Amino acid sequence: TILTNPNNTHIFRDIKTIKFREVISETDGVKVVEVHQMGEVRVLWKRNEYVTQLRVTEDSNAQKIAFELLKSDVLSKFNGEWKLSGSLDSSGKVTTVSALEQDVLPQGMPPWL
Protein backbone atom coordinates (compact mmCIF):
# COMPACT_ATOMS: atom_id res chain seq x y z
CA THR A 1 0.00 0.00 0.00
CA ILE A 2 0.96 3.63 -0.17
CA LEU A 3 1.63 3.95 3.55
CA THR A 4 3.86 0.88 3.84
CA ASN A 5 5.72 1.26 0.55
CA PRO A 6 9.48 1.18 1.33
CA ASN A 7 10.00 4.18 -0.98
CA ASN A 8 7.04 6.42 -0.26
CA THR A 9 8.98 9.66 -0.73
CA HIS A 10 6.74 10.68 -3.62
CA ILE A 11 3.67 10.47 -1.33
CA PHE A 12 4.86 12.60 1.60
CA ARG A 13 6.02 16.03 0.46
CA ASP A 14 8.49 16.62 3.30
CA ILE A 15 10.44 13.37 2.82
CA LYS A 16 13.24 13.67 0.27
CA THR A 17 14.92 10.27 0.60
CA ILE A 18 14.89 7.10 2.63
CA LYS A 19 18.48 6.69 3.84
CA PHE A 20 18.02 3.35 5.60
CA ARG A 21 15.19 0.87 6.17
CA GLU A 22 15.51 -2.34 8.17
CA VAL A 23 12.87 -4.88 9.13
CA ILE A 24 13.45 -5.52 12.85
CA SER A 25 10.83 -8.26 13.26
CA GLU A 26 7.90 -9.81 11.41
CA THR A 27 5.45 -12.20 13.07
CA ASP A 28 1.74 -12.97 12.71
CA GLY A 29 0.89 -9.98 10.53
CA VAL A 30 2.89 -7.46 12.57
CA LYS A 31 6.05 -5.99 11.05
CA VAL A 32 8.38 -3.66 12.93
CA VAL A 33 10.62 -1.50 10.74
CA GLU A 34 13.26 1.11 11.55
CA VAL A 35 13.36 3.93 9.01
CA HIS A 36 15.94 6.70 8.64
CA GLN A 37 14.69 9.41 6.33
CA MET A 38 15.92 12.77 5.15
CA GLY A 39 13.42 15.56 4.81
CA GLU A 40 13.29 19.20 3.94
CA VAL A 41 11.44 22.07 5.52
CA ARG A 42 11.05 25.52 4.03
CA VAL A 43 10.40 28.65 6.04
CA LEU A 44 9.96 31.66 3.80
CA TRP A 45 13.07 31.66 1.56
CA LYS A 46 15.20 29.32 3.69
CA ARG A 47 15.39 25.54 3.16
CA ASN A 48 16.73 23.17 5.81
CA GLU A 49 17.37 19.46 5.52
CA TYR A 50 16.86 17.20 8.52
CA VAL A 51 17.19 13.54 9.45
CA THR A 52 14.52 11.57 11.30
CA GLN A 53 14.66 7.99 12.62
CA LEU A 54 11.35 6.22 13.23
CA ARG A 55 10.21 2.85 14.49
CA VAL A 56 7.17 1.89 12.43
CA THR A 57 4.86 -0.96 13.45
CA GLU A 58 2.66 -2.22 10.62
CA ASP A 59 -0.22 -4.33 11.98
CA SER A 60 -2.16 -5.82 9.08
CA ASN A 61 -4.56 -7.63 11.46
CA ALA A 62 -5.69 -4.40 13.15
CA GLN A 63 -5.25 -2.40 9.93
CA LYS A 64 -3.09 0.23 11.58
CA ILE A 65 0.40 1.63 11.29
CA ALA A 66 1.98 3.16 14.40
CA PHE A 67 5.11 5.30 14.34
CA GLU A 68 7.44 6.42 17.11
CA LEU A 69 10.28 8.94 16.90
CA LEU A 70 13.69 7.50 17.77
CA LYS A 71 15.87 10.48 16.82
CA SER A 72 15.48 13.73 14.93
CA ASP A 73 17.33 16.92 14.07
CA VAL A 74 14.19 19.07 14.32
CA LEU A 75 11.56 17.22 16.37
CA SER A 76 11.44 16.29 20.04
CA LYS A 77 8.17 14.38 19.65
CA PHE A 78 6.62 12.69 16.61
CA ASN A 79 4.41 9.73 17.44
CA GLY A 80 1.07 8.50 16.18
CA GLU A 81 -0.81 6.04 14.06
CA TRP A 82 -2.73 5.62 10.85
CA LYS A 83 -5.91 3.52 11.01
CA LEU A 84 -7.66 2.11 7.97
CA SER A 85 -11.22 0.84 7.89
CA GLY A 86 -13.82 -0.14 5.33
CA SER A 87 -17.04 1.76 4.86
CA LEU A 88 -20.01 1.73 2.48
CA ASP A 89 -20.72 4.89 0.54
CA SER A 90 -24.20 6.05 -0.42
CA SER A 91 -24.21 3.85 -3.54
CA GLY A 92 -23.27 0.74 -1.54
CA LYS A 93 -19.66 0.61 -2.74
CA VAL A 94 -16.96 -0.30 -0.25
CA THR A 95 -14.48 2.51 0.34
CA THR A 96 -11.44 2.86 2.56
CA VAL A 97 -11.43 5.42 5.33
CA SER A 98 -8.11 6.52 6.78
CA ALA A 99 -7.56 8.34 10.06
CA LEU A 100 -4.34 9.84 11.38
CA GLU A 101 -3.61 10.69 15.02
CA GLN A 102 -0.24 12.20 15.84
CA ASP A 103 1.67 14.14 18.47
CA VAL A 104 4.25 16.53 17.03
CA LEU A 105 6.53 18.83 18.99
CA PRO A 106 9.41 20.74 17.40
CA GLN A 107 12.72 20.81 19.27
CA GLY A 108 13.11 23.76 21.60
CA MET A 109 9.42 24.02 22.45
CA PRO A 110 8.25 23.63 26.06
CA PRO A 111 6.98 20.04 26.66
CA TRP A 112 3.71 21.32 28.17
CA LEU A 113 2.50 22.62 24.79
Per-residue pLDDT of the chain (113 residues; tens, 9 = 90+): 555 666 665 566 667 777 889 999 999 999 999 999 888 877 788 888 888 899 999 998 999 999 999 999 888 899 999 998 888 888 888 888 889 999 988 888 776 66
User: 15-27 and 30-43: which strand pairing?
Assistant: antiparallel
Give CB contacts under 8 A, 24+ apart, made by 43-50.
48/74, 49/16, 50/74
Q: Give Cα 94 to chain centroid, integer Å.
A: 25
> What pLDDT, on a 0 to 100 scale, did the predictor assign at position 33?
94
